[in-house]
Structure 1
Amino acid sequence: MITATDLEVRAGVRTLLSAPGPALRVQAGDRIGLVGRNGAGKTTTLRILAGEGEPYAGSVTRTGDIGYLPQDPKEGDLDLLAKDRVLSARGLDTLLHDMEKQQALMAEVADEDRLDKAVRRYGELEERFASLGGYVAESEAARICNSLGLPDRVLAQPLRTLSGGQRRRVELARILFAASDGSGGRSATTLLLDEPTNHLDADSITWLRGFLQSHEGGLIVISHDVELLNDVVNRVWFLDAVRGEPDVYNMNWKKYLDARSTDEQRRRRERANAEKKAGALRAQAAKMGAKATKAVAAQNMAKRADKLMANLDEERVSDRVAHIRFPEPAPCGKTPLMASNLTKMYGSLEIFAGVDLAIDRGSRVVVLGLNGAGKTTLLRILAGTEKSDSGQIEPGHGLRIGYFAQEHDTLDDMASVWENVRHAAPDTPEQELRSLLGAFMFTGPQLEQPAGTLSGGEKTRLALAGLVSSAANVLLLDEPTNNLDPISREQVLEALRSYKGAVVLVTHDPGAAEALSPERVILLPDGNEDHWSQDYLDLITLA
């Protein structure tokens, strides 16, 4: 399991978390919801608990296996088949390939000694394969993949041909396959999952909730899916961004919400009482301070008032929210963006073919298709970050594209928050950029924080800040509401409602499509175009 002792977590010079003693501990059967506003340090803390980062101070001890799903999984061998990536969780991929080699060798060799050696080697591999669950385990992996929306045709493809959402689901399947091993060696696996429902459809989310409910090891989950938290967690760690401390609640989600509300009311009462007492002390000190004979007593009263206030938590104010407003679009022609006969292949695999589109000034378009149909790829081609295999992009008069990538590809992880926005808007006055970043909740030391250390929600806000500074008249938005807390998500949706330029949107969020009020839909991989209707809303979560 996991125990963090005297843990201190920082991002640059900012202290995100200070947890004295063994305050954070995960044991078998603990299903912990790690919650707090965007930027409170949830993702950074989870990364450190998983061993993928180092704390500023303190230590983390781990026993048993750890299954860690980050928001942005690291790119591995992209030539590996998706099926083999899942099976590699138990080493089955290598065994199966070695068994296939020995089978081929047994069929080819005529020499009895070599044949006998190949037969013995095959027997050894098969015995090892059986000890790891064998073909039953392979079937189990297929069942998990299918439950997460990864059919056989996807599992047979190299990772490089899959969308970002599909690759993330492959990683989730790999982690759950490892944790579900019935041999006894992995029953104590601790799962650390950062937004595991991203890119999952409704049926897959329902299945995942059931899997996590029955998981026998430890679990820490970061999620904005309230239903998942309500159904799964039996403990809650709240990271308080105001105090920089964790509040541990040994109870389920519903009871936590009540207890949290009670705690906030108590803190407000304590502060009000302390402020009243401190105010009286300071008023009395001011009166007495005018007399030389009572100056020492006045100073002592003032010190008591200061001490009284110093022992209180910082005053809780309503969590700040980003004030997101997409840019006033620059003037452009009637049809600023056109494309004809776009085709994309990965090797012999055709992603889509013959896609034509015309994006008129101020038009609103949703791109729909099953996962892997090429939605993200199409937006990358329109944005100019990827080339099509045939067809062409035809920019119209005055075209200015603003591109939001779901994997935050437009951000430089090594550069600071300030450097990223300065690069996006090199001609904008410095004070104007600082005001813009302040509206997106980036101030003070955060401006010097490397973008790679930000949480998923913070990266989303930073990427959107770059868009706002661009005066784009065509926005290409790929999952712009991912990783956002409910308040920040509503800010993005409100920005979509009020934006006057053209939008091409890819989303699994029905609320985002409704906020856009689209006129048209483009269906991939065929590239067919249709008028938007409410019937398409039901397809959003499946796409």
Structure 2
Amino acid sequence: MIKVDKLSFSFPQKELYTNVSFTLEEGQHCAFIGTSGSGKSTLIDILMDPERYLFEGKLEIDPTCKMGHVSQFSHLDKSKETTVFEYIGEEFNRIQNEINAILAEMETSSDMDALLEKYQMALDAFDAIDGNDFESNIHKKLNLADLMKLKDARVSDLSGGEFKLIQVMKEMLRKPDVMIMDEPDVFLDFENLNALKNLINAHKGILLVVTHNRYLLNHCFNKIIHLENTELQEFDGRYIDYNFSLLQTKIELQELTVAEEEEIARNDNIVNNLRAIATYNSEASRGRALKARVRFQERLEARRLKAPFVDIKQPNISFGMDQAMEETTVVSVNNYRVAFDELLLEHVSFEIKSTDKVAIIGPNGTGKTTLLRDIFNHEHDSIEIHADAKVAYLSQLQGEMLQGSNTILEEFIDAGFKTYDEIRAYLLSYGFEGEILHQKIDSLSGGEKNLLQLAKVSASKANVLLLDEPTSHLDTYAQIALEKAIEDYKGAILMISHDFYSIVNGMDYVLIIEDKTIRKMSMPAFKKMIYARHFDKDYLEVEQKKKSVEMKIELALKNKNFELAKGCIDELEKLIKLL
């Protein structure tokens, strides 16, 4: 259906792809992965509108291929009074109205041939979207996503997550041959994320989905397309099997690399000895031996293994503090209430201690972000902040904490750094170096912007962190690095998140929004709740064992104990089969 062959493309300041190739074929649900800023969204734009881009290579799209697209950033027209059912059925209503208009025109027109041709084209378009069953199909999609309750709701009243799901349904009901979605999971709560999983798995056409969500990656796809360091590779199979394959390759490559380095070192000694001899022995044979050895050394260096997909560098996220606090209450919320057009929260009371790590969870649109912003601004009578608390805030609205017209360097001068050299050294650990430091923040990907926010939060040396969806847009490598930073942090964290893994791996307990108020829930109770709703029997236990074995492998590789690593690989393979 779509074939990309040796495609190369670059912006003036950045090379994105070098001779990348892949295909999209019938029956494939493809996850499109890669680190932030690697060019995934741009490649999608090229697929959707090739005429806009000057690229090298071939892009072959079947001329009969009907494309569907759900953008990373959705914009809702709040002035529209359309209901959810009417919004999803816009294409159906448009074609039906066109058919009725043609039939009306036939009653008075003498040019029947042209009208019959238009009529047949409209009927074909109607059949292509299964028009006779369109209303029934809308109901099926709404039921699949457990959103039938929203059928008659105004689209303008939907939460961001609900609107994203409605967009996905609307595109799927157009029956595209290839449907492309760019991070459709961002900001979805647990229930809506599960609804998206159901919609993806029930879809019959080809799917290409940019996502970093580990829940979707582990449950929805039968092909992986991985873009990294201007190169791309395809893998037919599940994401969990792809990661296993990468780990196997990593062990093999590291073992070979150690052997190569030893061979290069031996050859270095020979070359050095021959050079030393050549200083006092000028025989031609000695010179030829030296040149041969140097050429051999150059060949060794040239074939040194390069593995851009195997050993991807994680950002080094680290949260430190200027002033640690003794065990005390740092945030106190007492009888908090917030309402806009309707009541969101009331009778909310809780305390955060100086070392607590707490997640706020609840459906989209229930006031979580408003609460976190009110704590940060400290302008609400029902909120008290300890005098020694230094608070840093990461916003899910990236423009709230980052000045889009600034370059990265300018943003961090504003953040209190004194010299550009100091900024360069600091941001290197977050993966920002070279020309990208001179780019405007508006030109960065969503993941890069979130990494910058994390870098600013870290630079603040705060002892209380308020994090609103910190994993959104982050690639899986950065998500894992963030989890480690949270685990190592000694201060207090209050985090809004719908990412199950981040909560389970880093939080002490959760605050759950129910019936317009908040109650405390222990981590075992939270796991049990999510386990019952979203995971197969024993999934979480096997996942934890898998993570433990993976850590053993990483440690074995660090110590160059390849035999131990290979033994653990066998153990890991058995666990993966259970998943």
**Taking structure 1 as the reference length, what is the TM-score of the superposition?**
0.73
How big is the shift at 1:468? 1.2
**Residue deviations 1:55-77 (CA, integer Å, cap 9, x gap):** 7644545442323334x324242
Change (3 A) 1:230 1:157: same
Task: Give the letter for the 1:247 counterpart.
Answer: Q
Q: Distance in 1 between matches of 2:6 and 2:28?
A: 21
Q: Alignment partner of 2:453: what SS?
A: helix
CA contact (8 A) 1:165 1:371 kept: yes
> Which residue matches 2:566?
none
How big is the shift at 1:352? 1.1
How big is the shift at 1:201? 6.1
> Which residue matches 2:339?
344
Alignment partner of 1:416 is 2:407: yes
Q: Alignment partner of 1:91: what SS?
A: helix
How big is the shift at 1:507? 1.8
The structure 1 residue matched to 2:234, chosen from 236, 248, 258, is 248
Alignment partner of 1:169 is 2:157: no
CA contact (8 A) 2:349 2:518 kept: no
Q: Distance in 2 between matches of 1:374 and 1:530?
A: 16
Q: Alignment partner of 1:402: what SS?
A: strand
Aligned positions of 1:442-453 closer than 5 A: 442-453=432-443
Change (3 A) 1:471 1:264: closer
**Residue deviations 1:247-297 (CA, integer Å, cap 9, x gap):** 233455566456545654565566566656655655554444414434466
> Which residue matches 1:328?
321
The structure 2 residue matched to 1:218, chosen from 206, 218, 227, is 206
Change (3 A) 1:288 1:171: same
Change (3 A) 1:277 1:257: same
CA contact (8 A) 2:145 2:198 kept: no
The structure 2 residue matched to 1:436, chosen from 426, 434, 452, is 426
> Which residue matches 1:80?
80
The count of residues paired between Structure 1 and Structure 2 equals 496
How big is the shift at 1:87? 3.4
Q: Alignment partner of 1:372: what SS?
A: coil
> Which residue matches 2:368?
375
How big is the shift at 1:404? 1.8
Alignment partner of 1:147 is 2:147: no
Q: Alignment partner of 1:503: what SS?
A: strand
CA contact (8 A) 1:233 1:252 kept: yes
Alignment partner of 1:29 is 2:27: yes
Change (3 A) 1:95 1:11: same
Q: Distance in 2 between matches of 1:305 and 1:89?
A: 67
Change (3 A) 1:279 1:325: closer
The structure 2 residue matched to 1:298, chosen from 287, 290, 300, is 290
Q: Distance in 2 between matches of 1:4 and 1:372?
A: 40
The structure 1 residue matched to 2:224, chosen from 209, 230, 236, is 236
Aligned positions of 1:38-187 closer than 5 A: 38=36, 40-51=38-49, 54=53, 57-58=56-57, 60-62=59-61, 63=63, 64-70=65-71, 72-80=72-80, 83-84=83-84, 87=87, 91-92=91-92, 133=130, 136-153=133-150, 156-159=153-156, 161-179=157-175, 186=176
**Residue deviations 1:33-72 (CA, integer Å, cap 9, x gap):** 33345554444434443449847644545442323334x3
- Identity, % of aligned positions: 22
> Which residue matches 2:494?
504
Greater Cα offset, 480-489 or 85-94:
85-94
Task: Give the letter for the 2:181 counterpart.
Answer: L
Change (3 A) 1:314 1:24: same
Q: Distance in 1 between matches of 2:297 and 2:435?
A: 31
**Taking structure 2 as the reference length, what is the TM-score of the superposition?**
0.69
Change (3 A) 1:453 1:27: farther
How big is the shift at 1:167? 3.3
> Which residue matches 1:310?
302
CA contact (8 A) 1:496 1:516 kept: yes
Q: Distance in 2 between matches of 1:521 and 1:534?
A: 13
Q: Distance in 2 between matches of 1:214 and 1:354?
A: 39
**Residue deviations 1:161-203 (CA, integer Å, cap 9, x gap):** 4443333333323332333xxxxxx3x2x12234444555667
How big is the shift at 1:506? 1.8
> Which residue matches 1:109?
none
How big is the shift at 1:437? 1.8
How big is the shift at 1:375? 1.9
Q: Distance in 2 between matches of 1:501 and 1:231?
A: 34
CA contact (8 A) 1:337 1:395 kept: yes
Task: Give the letter for the 1:49 counterpart.
Answer: L
CA contact (8 A) 2:407 2:441 kept: yes
How big is the shift at 1:440? 2.2
Q: Distance in 2 between matches of 1:138 and 1:381?
A: 43
How big is the shift at 1:207? 5.9
Aligned positions of 1:468-487 closer than 5 A: 468-487=458-477
**Residue deviations 1:292-345 (CA, integer Å, cap 9, x gap):** 434466345424432442244436784322332334165899655657654332
CA contact (8 A) 2:13 2:435 kept: yes
Change (3 A) 1:216 1:66: same
CA RMSD, aligned part only?
4.5
Alignment partner of 1:460 is 2:450: yes
The structure 2 residue matched to 1:521, chosen from 511, 514, 521, is 511
Change (3 A) 1:284 1:364: closer
How big is the shift at 1:432? 4.6
> Could you list the runs of 5+ residues in structure 1 that have no partner in the other structure?
100-123, 180-185
Change (3 A) 1:395 1:429: farther
**Residue deviations 1:522-543 (CA, integer Å, cap 9, x gap):** 6356234556574355556989
Change (3 A) 1:197 1:148: farther
Q: Distance in 1 between matches of 2:80 and 2:93?
A: 10
Change (3 A) 1:411 1:538: farther
CA contact (8 A) 2:337 2:346 kept: yes
Q: Alignment partner of 1:496: what SS?
A: helix
> Could you list the runs of 5+ residues in structure 2 that have no partner in the other structure?
100-118, 535-579
> Which residue matches 1:119?
none
Greater Cα offset, 246-255 or 400-409:
246-255
CA contact (8 A) 2:96 2:126 kept: no
> Which residue matches 1:3?
3
Q: Alignment partner of 2:181: what SS?
A: strand
